[in-house]
């Protein structure tokens, strides 16, 4: 079993109490780096270009949004807002360098969706456009690291590109029949494929609610074992609350934060995490 950055008890009360201040400080530092770098970002630089600079802040932004709520994220989003139209434009040139630009692509998508979940005034890129980016990088699956592949699968759900889910997270063709009320505990692959099948079946929110609440409840274990990231949780929340529940996107981050902040201490056997991680 892998060890993550969080070494305390893998429960929401412990995660919130033990890392919220750290999350705020990491986001502040990330925003300061963007404040310095973004005015000088250039496509001539392999790393310091607009999409990659925004992508680099996606993880700390999602983490702060979940642990602290949207008020803690506004200043960081403000730093990037003037540059987002240019970053979207530059994605075309980044992708033209070849499908291996997956880290920047997936990270930038996660940043865009997280910002959209926090702020109604955050630029909204058409879903078809983001879906096209995912289709371009999909052939490079064999070159992806595990984190990028999993996040790409969650991004495929958010953009309603369910046919891409098996490409990124494997498991073969999606089931044709949807069974409501299932749960998957630590099986991230099963959960992603289940949401994709539910989207294809146009299932109602109540049908996937047990799977969603179970996924959120065990998420601290994924953090403790480095099997998922906060960007994955935010993309999943967007899928559930927007596509299944019909909430406005800008309400997603606070809805998620308020929900996890109210969860009780739930300590589950870590052996189950190891078994699921091996699947």
Task: Going residue by residue through the chain, which has 279 residues, state the pLDDT in tens, using 9 for 90 and above.
Answer: 444 566 678 899 999 998 999 999 999 999 999 999 999 998 776 667 999 999 999 999 999 999 999 999 999 999 999 999 999 999 988 888 876 688 899 999 999 999 999 999 988 788 999 999 999 999 988 888 999 999 999 999 999 999 999 999 988 999 999 999 999 999 999 999 999 999 999 999 999 999 999 999 999 999 989 999 999 999 999 999 999 999 999 999 999 999 999 998 766 655 455 555 445
pLDDT of 52 reads 92
Say how many Å lie between the first and final Cα of the chain, rounded.
Answer: 12
CA dist., res. 2 & res. 203, Å (int) = 35
CA dist., res. 279 & res. 276, Å (int) = 5
CA dist., res. 31 & res. 16, Å (int) = 21
Sign, Cα dihedral of 65, 74, 24, 57: positive
Classify burial at 50, counting beta carbons within 10 Å of its beta carbon; exposed 0-12, middle 13-18, buried 19 or more: buried
DSSP letter assigned to residue 45: S
CA dist., res. 174 & res. 50, Å (int) = 35
Phi, psi of 180 (to 5 degrees): -70, 155
| Range 95-117 burial, b when 16+ CB lie within 10 A, else e | beeebebbbbbbbbbbbbbbbbb
pLDDT of 268 reads 61
Local structure of 1: helix, strand or coil: coil
pLDDT of 3 reads 45
What is the crossing angle of helices 50-68 and 84-95, to 10°? Answer: 120
Reported as type and span, the H/E element at residue 130 is helix 127-137
Residues 6+ apart with CB under 8 A from 121: 81
Neighbours of 270 (CB within 10 A): 14
DSSP letter assigned to residue 38: G
CA dist., res. 265 & res. 10, Å (int) = 9
CA dist., res. 201 & res. 178, Å (int) = 7
């Amino acid at each position: 079993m892998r060890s993550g950055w969080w070494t305390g008890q893998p429960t929401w009360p412990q995660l919130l109490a033990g890392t919220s201040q750290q999350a705020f400080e990491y986001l502040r530092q990330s925003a300061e780096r963007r404040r310095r770098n973004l005015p000088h970002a250039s496509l001539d630089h392999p790393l310091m270009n607009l999409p990659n600079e925004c992508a680099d802040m996606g993880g700390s932004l999602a983490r702060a949004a979940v642990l602290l709520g949207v008020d803690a994220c506004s200043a960081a989003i403000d730093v990037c807002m003037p540059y987002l139209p240019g970053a979207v434009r530059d994605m075309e040139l980044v992708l033209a360098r070849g499908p291996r630009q997956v880290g920047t692509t997936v990270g930038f998508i996660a940043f865009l969706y997280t910002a959209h979940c926090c702020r109604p005034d955050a630029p909204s890129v058409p879903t078809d456009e983001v879906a096209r980016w995912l289709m371009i990088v999909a052939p490079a699956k064999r070159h992806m690291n595990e984190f990028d592949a999993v996040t790409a699968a969650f991004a495929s759900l958010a953009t309603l590109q369910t046919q891409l889910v098996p490409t990124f997270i494997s498991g073969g063709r999606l089931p044709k029949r949807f069974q409501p009320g299932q749960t998957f505990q630590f099986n991230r692959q099963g959960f992603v494929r289940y949401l994709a099948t539910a989207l294809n079946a146009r299932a109602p929110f109540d049908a996937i609610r047990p799977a969603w609440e179970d996924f959120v409840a065990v998420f601290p274990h994924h953090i403790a074992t480095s099997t998922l990231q906060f960007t994955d949780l935010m993309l999943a929340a967007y899928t559930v609350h927007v596509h299944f529940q019909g909430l406005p996107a800008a309400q997603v981050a606070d809805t998620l934060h308020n929900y996890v902040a109210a969860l009780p201490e739930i300590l589950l056997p870590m052996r189950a995490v190891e078994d699921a991680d091996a699947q």
